[in-house]
Amino acid sequence: MENKVIINTDIEKGIINKNIYGHFAEHLGRCIYEGIWVGEDSPIPNTKGIRNDVLAALKNLNIPVLRWPGGCFADEYHWKDGIGPREDRKRMVNTHWGGVIENNHFGTHEFMLLCELLECEPYICGNVGSGTVQEMSEWVEYMTFDGESPMANWRQENGRAEPWKLKYFGVGNENWGCGGHMRPEYYADLYRRYQTYVRNYGENKIYKIAGGANVDDYRWTEVLMREAAHFMDGLSLHYYTIPGDFWKGKGAATDPREEQWFITLKKALHMEELITKHSKIMDKYDPDKRIGLVIDEWGTWFDVEPGTNPGFLYQQNTIRDALVAGLHFHIFHRHNDRVQMTNIAQTVNVLQAMVLTEGEKMILTPTYHVFEMFKVHQDATKLQVDATVGTYEFNGEQLPAVSASASRAKDGKINISLCNLNPKEGAALTLQLRGMIDQEAAVSGRILSAEESNAHNTFEQPDRVKPVAFTGATLENNQLNVELPPMSVVVLTVE
Ligand code: AHR
């Protein structure tokens, strides 16, 4: 079948919230320590302890929002252990992630500094599982109270006079699992109670995010919406793309087999069904779509790289991950009426990371490049896309061969992202720019692709997978003719 895509340049479908391009960094493995924080005395060049190379790479992504400190770690984290002189901070065991010592050197002040340097919004996840209401309440007071108060005074003693601006606050994480193994009825009540004391001080207005469902646990969403919708601004959802079985073997990150490729993309596309069904339940209680669906953990989860600490969740990142990222963004764009934020897991050295580090070295992953290429969609106006595309078949199963999304940026340029899911065959596409009146328009683009389905960057070959100029698109009479190579992600700009 021919691949025909109509970009309706005159049918606008709301804004693609830039927070869809959000991130998540947990005290897990080498994400925070080594990956972001090296300390002020490190030989690795740093800004007040935060490594400069990672900072510069992440800055280039225009990260809009960063979630911290977990994950499972959040429900064991006691923020008061992570403030004051670093040498006096309490050491604890990170029981979830490798049983290693956590020295609390990266705490609230360091995280807020990171966000300031990245110019992104902090999204802090509070501790419901093992923390008290008072502890959560005081954390918010510590960060945001302007004036005389026990916590604000303490913050000032620790070197920060002005309160920080804090918009996003999560009330616990995975409360159905590592965050307390609760039933939704119980968590809904706890959520109502804890969030009461997450106060808005002065001008600071907090967007409260309730801990949401695991994958297809629709009952969780139903109960939370029924019992607590009135008290929340966002409800989370976690879904990871795991080609195998979570407990018996997830699959290798660099597996070259087409079967693994196919199943990974198929599972990535499952996100569409999950969002549709969770949204439908949310619509019942919130028809005006005031409450955002916040997918604050998503991405690939493979077996850890052989020879690395199993608790550190370090994995390689291939062109397959790039396709997973591109497909997710297209799904999130399609649901921009409900999906207000997403946070990939995780930013550095953990799961589907942007960058990998080894000592003083750093490489960018294929996923990084997709985030960088797609940043043109951040806060852009979504354009309606009508696509009729062929299929990519494997072993009698079918997936759509091509995925497309389009938006108009504030500067008037139209950006079109395309994914060819087939690792073996190219795809020819016609894209009609319906409603466009500019006959003088020109097209340019970039492509991320590879020769092999497990192609990835290493410290020895850091640029094996990286975007290059794309010459496979021509524009004539408002129609784009595009030749997509196999397993490729392309972003075209029409201006
Ligand atoms: O991202 C790794 C872990 O996955 C998080 O800590 C947890 O929330 C989820 O189960």
Q: Identify the band that residue 411 occupies on the pLDDT scale cut at 50, 70 and 90.
A: very high
Mean pLDDT of 479-488: 97
pLDDT at 291: 98
Contacts of 329 (CB under 8 A, 6+ apart): 20, 21, 370, 374, 377, 405, 417
Residues in the chain: 495
Instruction: State the amino acid at position 351 in one-letter form.
Output: L
Whether ipTM > 0.95 holds is: yes
Residue located nearest, by CA, to atom 1 of ligand 1:
345
Residues 116, 165: contact at Cβ < 8 Å? no
Q: Yes or no: say if 7 and 431 are a contact pair by the CB < 8 Å rule.
A: yes
Residues identified as active-site: 174, 297
The backbone torsions φ and ψ at residue 248, rounded to the nearest 5 degrees and listed phi first, read -90, -10
Stretch 285-312: mean pLDDT: 98
Instruction: Tell which one of 297, 313, 344, 350 to mutate to probe ligand 1, the residue whose CB is within 8 A of the most ligand atoms.
Output: 297
Q: State the pLDDT at residue 220.
A: 98
Evaluate if residue 172 carries a pLDDT over 80. Answer: yes
Quote the ligand 1 centre to 444 CA distance (angstroms). 39
Q: Which two tokens stand for residue 485?
A: 């190579």
Question: 162 in the Ramachandran plot: left (φ > 0), alpha (ψ -120 to 50) or beta?
Answer: beta
- Domain end, chosen from 379, 409, 435, is at 379
Separation between Cα atoms, residue 27 and residue 31, nearest integer Å = 7
Tens digits of residue pLDDT in 5-20: 999 999 999 999 999 9
End-to-end CA, the chain:
29
375 with 392, same domain: the answer is no
Give CA separation, 160 vs 28, 66, 154, 383, in Å.
27, 21, 9, 44
303: nearest Cα among 312, 287, 315: 315
> What is the arithmetic mean of pLDDT over 162-185?
98
Kindly state whether residues 245 and 118 are assigned to the same domain.
yes
Cβ-proximal residues to 333 (8 Å cutoff; 6+ apart), any chain: 16, 20, 377, 382, 405, 407
For residues 166 and 314, what is the distance between their CA atoms, to the nearest angstrom? 30
% of the chain beyond a pLDDT of 70: 100
* Residues 242, 156 share a domain: yes
| Residue 399 dihedral angles phi and psi, to the nearest 5° | -130, 160
Helix (H, G, I), strand (E, B) or coil at 362: strand
Residue nearest to ligand 1 atom 3, measured at CA:
71
Q: Which atom of ligand 1 is nearest to the CA of 72?
A: 6
Q: What's residue 478's pLDDT? A: 92
Task: Decide if pLDDT at 309 tops 80.
Answer: yes
Asked if 335 and 257 sit in the same domain, the reply is: yes
Q: Is the CB of 179 under 6 A from ligand 1?
A: no
* Percent above pLDDT 90 for the chain: 98
Q: Is the pLDDT score of 438 beyond 80?
A: no
Identify the residue whose tokens are 């994480």: 173
Helix (H) or strand (E) holding 220, with range, is helix 218-228
Residue 153: is its pLDDT beyond 90? yes
Residue 128, both tokens: 């419901």
| pLDDT tens-digit map of 53-110 | 999 999 999 999 999 999 999 999 999 999 999 999 999 999 999 999 999 999 999 9
Query: Looking at the 3D structure of the chain, how many domains does it have?
Result: 2
Residues 218 and 72 in one domain: yes
What is the CATH classification number for the domain harbouring 465?
2.60.40.1180
Based on the fold, state whether residues 99 and 200 are members of the same structural domain. yes
- The sign of the dihedral angle between the CA atoms of 195, 341, 221, 286 is positive
Give the residue from 343, 331, 486 showing the smallest Cα distance to 405.
331
- Assign residue 58 the CATH number of its domain: 3.20.20.80
Residue-level pLDDT at 431: 97
pLDDT score for 437: 78
E runs forming strands in 365-413: 381-388, 391-394, 397-400, 402-408
Same-domain check for residues 137 and 156: yes
pLDDT of residue 362: 98
Taking alpha carbons only, the member of 111, 62, 119, 121 closest to residue 368 is: 62
pLDDT-derived band at 427 (thresholds 50, 70, 90) equals very high
pLDDT tens digit sequence for 222-256: 999 999 999 999 999 999 999 999 999 999 999 99
Could you report the per-residue pLDDT of 367-397, keeping only the tens digit for each?
A: 999 999 999 999 999 999 999 999 999 999 9
Computed from CA positions of residues 262, 264, 270, 272, in that sequence, does the dihedral angle turn out positive or negative?
negative
Name the closest-CA residue to atom 5, ligand 1: 71
What pLDDT is attached to residue 188? 98
Do residues 453 and 339 share a domain? no
Residue nearest to atom 7 of ligand 1 (CA): 71
Mean pLDDT of 252-270: 98
Residue 412: is its pLDDT beyond 80? yes
Q: What is the pLDDT of residue 439?
A: 74
Range of the domain at 35: 16-379
Does the Cβ of 72 fall within 6 Å of ligand 1? Answer: yes
> How many CA atoms are closer than 13 Å to the CA of 8, on its beta-carbon side?
10
345 and 414 both lie in a single domain: no
For the Cβ of 70 lying below 6 angstroms from any atom of ligand 1, the answer is: yes
Q: Which residue has the tokens 């959520």?
A: 191
**Alpha helices per DSSP H over 39-161:** 52-59, 108-118, 133-144, 150-157
Q: Tell me the DSSP string of 80-98.
A: GGGSS-GGGSPPEEETTTT
For 309, other C-beta atoms within 10 Å of its C-beta total: 15
